[in-house]
Amino acid sequence: MSDMKVKDLAGTVGITAERLVDQLNEAGIKVSQPDDLITEEQKQTLLQFLQQRHGKSADGASVTPKKITLKRKSVSEIKLAGPTRAGKSVSVEVRKKRTYIKRSETEEAAAAAELLKQKEAEDAAAEAAKLQQQELEAQQQRERLMEQEAADREAAAVAAAIEAEKQAAEEARLAAEEEQRALAEEAKAAAEEPPAKTQKSQNQEPALTASQLAHKKLEEADAKRRAANLARIDAEKALEARRKAREEEEALEKAREEAKQAAAEVQAKEQKAERQKEGDARVHAKDKPAKRGKFQRDDEFERKELHVSEGKTGRRKKKKGVSQPRGAVRDTAGEHGFSMPTAPVVREVSVPETISVSDLAQRMSVKAAEVIKALMGLGTMATINQVLDQDTAVIVVEEMGHVAKPTQDNEVELALTVSDEDLGELKSRAPVVTVMGHVDHGKTSLLDYIRRTKVTTGEAGGITQHIGAYKVETSRGEIAFLDTPGHAAFTEMRSRGAKVTDIVVLVVAADDGVMPQTIEAIQHAKAAESILIVAVNKMDKPDANPDRVKQELVNHEVIPEDWGGDVQFVPVSALTGQGIDDLLDAISLQAEIMELTAPVEGPANGTVIEARLDKGRGTVVTVLVQKGTLKKGDIVVVGQEYGRVRALFDENGQQLEQAGPSTPVELLGLSSTPAAGDELQVAPDERTAREISYFRQTRAREMKMAQQQAAKLDDMFNKMEAGDVKTLNVVIKADVHGSAEAVSQGLQKLSTDLVQVRVIASGVGGINETDAQLAAASDAILIGFNVRADNTARKVIAEKGLDVQYFSIIYDLLDVVTKAMTGMLEPVYKDEIIGLARVDDVFRSPKFGDIAGCLVLEGMVKRNNPIRVLRDNVVIFEGELESLRRFKDDVNEVSAGTECGIGVRNYKDVKPGDQIEVFERVLMKPTL
């Protein structure tokens, strides 16, 4: 793909151009505007950056994020005390940064040390904040003391002003009395000595001076009194202002206490109303049944953040003839309405293993848009119905200020857990022997001889398509045998057989040696930690070479006992019976050494070997009981299915009432076909079994949705790079679950870069109308493996013209599908050079134009074939011939070593020294 603009890529991806520019810059690609061009390498860099951000490795595999950093910021206010600072507050901002790092075991010590350092730093910060708070409280205490001292000084000033005023008033009174006394004395003196005017006039000046002095003192005393009065008034005003400020502060503090008390009373009323409402609801629930379709979860629809304020309520008028429900009495003492919470509500949110965005928002009592916004802040794009994993949900809950409580979804499955006290006494049990090996090495024939039945006659193509489970009674005790298919497509089936077995009998043909499926069987046996016994079969053939088998197995770490190893080698022949007794002796001896035991009493536990859908009997499941006793009528849970055991059958079709450990049985009664390898457990009752089955189905569906959502972004970029890829849709139906699984995996492995095989659906049972309709809607081919279509499905197939293929051998199925995939490929043409001519000279003709005089060097030049003009071995023109002449005659072809004249159509720049290459396009058969 060539270079393209950022805005064009944003339109293709489905995001805004600005967002894509930011992502490119975050990825280290310098882009400034949407019109800039980006190259293919920059697209790959962006894709790798987005994959790492979303938890994907470079190759597309899902990995756990190595490092997650969370940043938090909280702002709180501290109100200052005192009348002069009323209404003022100090904002305290606390910033926290927390980093979660996934470390290996070798880094645990360093991580612990680093965590200790961080904790010490946090403790130091907390201690510093505490010291700061203490310092602030000390500062407030000092301010209160200073204010108290100022108030005391003002009170003292008022008292001093009052005292000064009193003193000034006393001085004025004394001055007035002195003035009156002086005037009286002067009048008396004038009355007693009237003749002596001359002497009186002489002495008059001192008397007037004394009067004036007394009057002056009186005026000064009045001035002091007025000044003292003004000072007293000012001091009283200041004291009154401080008293009012103190009263306002006390009133504000009292109002706060009353508000807290009112809030506590309202909360107590709400709790009382909720308890009364719950009691009434329980009473109503007992009186009449609940309505269908209406339910409420315990952790949903909480209204704890709403506080009813006091005052009048808008009570509804009671309608005539309509009685109000019990518990609906409302408090009419308060004001109608709600008050906002004074503090954010912190909830404890239970987070299961998977949860949708809408459910998570509902549990936190917030809108889903807020959760989506938080996810976008963490770099995750999500929708309201998207399913989140537990780790992501916990981070979102903590980011939004709540407390996350991770829970395990399998709590409901604890009812199936059986304690050791419930199990009976351990008793000896029969060994479980799995027969493995390559196809056509004689595994089923060996069991056929042991069971004295003809199992191989009923197998299609002479190979085993299913896992067979048989319990054989021998002279040395009972032995449970599991026969596994040997074809490569049944690797998963062989793997399940090895996981439930005690001893593995590896059958190797003495005339064929070790084959690919033999090596796989050895690997499965080692992975299951099972004891291995090698049965060298077909010893009756003349070209049998057991030493070759031993030599080849030694290369795979399977060493015989006679060569110093620990693996028993038993030469046998399934046709003549040679060595069969020795093989049974080896199995019995090994079982005695292993001392195999299992509890017989108590609820049964087993593993599904195979499951199929029978038209007459329904779901038939082959189960190997491993411990306990499975009885007819038990309620069992098998994987995602449950049911009651209606019947038990052994390998011969005989009904059983119960089955003990190491017993393979077929049971009827499950709701649907489980997957091979699922665990069978006995439930205490049908209700518990149904709940566990529903829970497992829901969990599987949610996990599938989560995986699909995570793969959408990768699929989008992969489709952009891959271009047009052909897809072959198939719908598979098989007789048993294991065969359907093996066929699906075999077909998916056929996918290439040119043609992809897509399994639309895979199931057990015959082809029905639903399968045919699905194949018609998805343009798929129907594949029936050991099953056929019913009458209704055949009508739909005929009407729609669907392609239906029936198979009983997997070889033929894979070959036919491979041919169908090849037919979907586009035709491939190959250019084959048939001639080469050299231009020696160019002739100018007014009638024919430029004619190149050429010598044919190789092959043959044909007039009707396309050509290429080469100059210095570089193609400069591709077209066709206009004329080919030999002397004056037009010819159709010219052989090597012959001169000719060539006219090139629509090209006039042929020069001497050029070469004219003649080729033809040959249709090639397309291959995968």
CA atoms of 880 and 906, how far apart (whole Å): 9
Q: What are phi and psi of 411, to 5 degrees?
A: -65, -30
Identify whether the C-beta of residue 695 lies closer than 8 Å to the C-beta of residue 413: yes
Cβ atoms within 10 A of the Cβ of 751, count?
A: 16
CA atoms of 922 and 832, how far apart (whole Å): 7
Give which of 389, 593, 353, 610 is closest to 497, Cα–Cα: 610
Angstrom CA distances, 354 to 383, 390, 502, 617, 874, stand at: 15, 6, 37, 37, 62
Identify whether the C-beta of residue 226 lies closer than 8 Å to the C-beta of residue 169: no
- DSSP assignment of 74-132 equals EEEEEEPPSSTTTT-EEEEEEEEEEEEE---GGGHHHHHHHHHHHHHHHHHHHHHHHHH
Instruction: Extract the tokens encoding 162.
Output: 């009052």
CA angle 467, 560, 491 (to 5 degrees): 25
Per DSSP (E only), the strands in 398-554 are 403-406, 426-428, 432-437, 468-474, 477-483, 503-509, 531-537
Residue where the block lists tokens 């001519």: 837
Instruction: Extract the tokens encoding 613.
Output: 């859908």
Which residues make up each annotated binding site for GTP? 437-444, 483-487, 537-540
Identify whether the C-beta of residue 696 lies closer than 8 Å to the C-beta of residue 633: no
DSSP-assigned letter for residue 552: H
CA atoms of 151 and 281, how far apart (whole Å): 62
Residue where the block lists tokens 């950022």: 6
CA atoms of 55 and 567, how far apart (whole Å): 46
Identify whether the C-beta of residue 884 lies closer than 8 Å to the C-beta of residue 867: no
3-state secondary structure of 766: coil
CA atoms of 404 and 642, how far apart (whole Å): 33
Instruction: Extract the tokens encoding 555.
Output: 């290369």
End-to-end alpha-carbon separation of the chain, Å?
24
Which residues make up each annotated binding site? 437-444, 483-487, 537-540
Residue type, 12: T
3-state secondary structure of 516: helix
DSSP-assigned letter for residue 524: H
> Which residues sit opposite 234 in a β-bridge?
none
Give which of 426, 390, 355, 805 is closest to 596, Cα–Cα: 426
